[in-house]
Structure 1
Amino acid sequence: MTNSWIAIGALALVGIAIPVTMMSVSYLLRPTVPEQGKRATYESGEIPTGSSRRIKFNIQYYMVALLFLVFDIETVLIFPWTVIYGDAVAQVGLARALYPMLGFLGMLALGLGWAWRNGAVKWIRSPRATRQAEH
């Protein structure tokens, strides 16, 4: 019992020591060259307006990223399902193997339809970007 707690403590210590050491070494070795570009505020490709406290940017970047994340996770779930699909049909039958995945894909299709209907996938340019493109 005591040996397992020693191992857990040692693992926790190593898990904390390695990142702290890496951050400390990188802090000591990195070049410190102050320049204006490094201090500029950058937010998802939008040129900031106003001070750094009041950055106005298009929320569309986050909506697209969220939809990408949802469909990326869908892909991660579908790949293992396709690998075991043949074995599952042989063991539990076609309906019990296929219907849950069809239901999952149907719910994703409904979600995409809802997002499309509400304009979440419609790319809208900001008025400032439109004005800058004209000049």
Structure 2
Amino acid sequence: MNPWIAVGMLAVVAIAIIGAMMGISRLLRPDVPEQSKRTTYESGEVPTGNTHVRFNIQYYMVALLFLVFDIETVLIFPWTSIYRDIAGTEGLLWALGPMVLFIGILIVALAWAWRNGALGWVRNPRYERRMSRHE
């Protein structure tokens, strides 16, 4: 028997279960149409102002850099736990080489982000004026 038949059957069963659950929930749930259900909901507060708010790109850059270095930490911890076993039996260069390459690539990425200003915070002009008055 072809193993892909089992995979296909598993996919069919998964789709059938999802469809059955959605159908049953549609039949059993109460349907009470109200205008308040269709309004925008923001943490229990009535939204005010325009919905198109511009966020500083710096927040996204910091989030992306955090993810990159968070993944680095997740990958380095397991490597350090098995490093003792590998280094003694098959040589230091074989065990250390891939991690040095990995960390080197991350250092180059960090230097690039730093050079392009991704790590520098943009100051608020009001804060700058207030600080210049106090000097």
TM-score scaled to structure 2, two decimals?
A: 0.63
The aligned counterpart of 2:37 is 34
Kindly state the Cα deviation for residue 93 of structure 1 after the two structures are TM-superposed. Answer: 0.9
| SS of match in other structure, 2:122 | coil
Question: Structure 1 residues 49, 115: CA separation in 2 closer, same or farther (over 3 Å shift)?
Answer: farther
Query: Which AA in structure 1 matches 2:88?
Result: A
Q: Which runs of 5+ in 2 are unaligned?
A: 43-47, 131-135
Distance change (3 Å), C-alpha of 1:119 and 1:19:
farther
- For 1:67-109, what per-residue CA distance to the aligned partner results, in whole angstroms no more than 9, with x for missing partners? 1221122122212211221111122211221132122212212
Partner of 1:42: none
Match of residue 111, structure 1, among 97, 109, 112: 109
> Which protein has the larger Cα radius of gyration, Structure 1 or Structure 2?
2
Q: Whole-Å Cα distance in 1 between the matches of residues 73 and 17 of structure 2?
A: 33
2:77 matched to which residue of 1? 79
Give the TM-score, by structure 1 length: 0.63
**Partners in 1 of 2:20 and 2:38 — Cα distance?**
27
Tell me how far apart the structure 1 counterparts of residues 38 and 57 of structure 2 sit (CA, whole Å). 29
AA in 2 matched with 1:96: W
Distance in 1 between the 2:96 and 2:4 partners?
46
Question: Is 1:92 aligned to residue 95 of structure 2?
Answer: no
Find the counterpart in structure 1 of residue 9 from structure 2: 10
Q: Deviations over 1:42-66 (max 9, x none)?
A: xxxxxx985x5x6532222221221
Deviation of 1:23 after TM superposition, in Å, equals: 5.5
Of residues 86-95 and 54-63 in structure 1, the stretch that sits farther from structure 2 once superposed is: 54-63
Task: Judge conservation of contact 1:63–1:120 (CA < 8 Å) in 2.
Answer: yes
Aligned CA distance change for structure 1 residues 13 and 126 (closer, same or farther; 3 Å): farther
- Which residue of 67, 77, 89 maps to 2:65? 67
| Ranges in structure 1 where 5+ consecutive residues have no aligned partner | 40-47
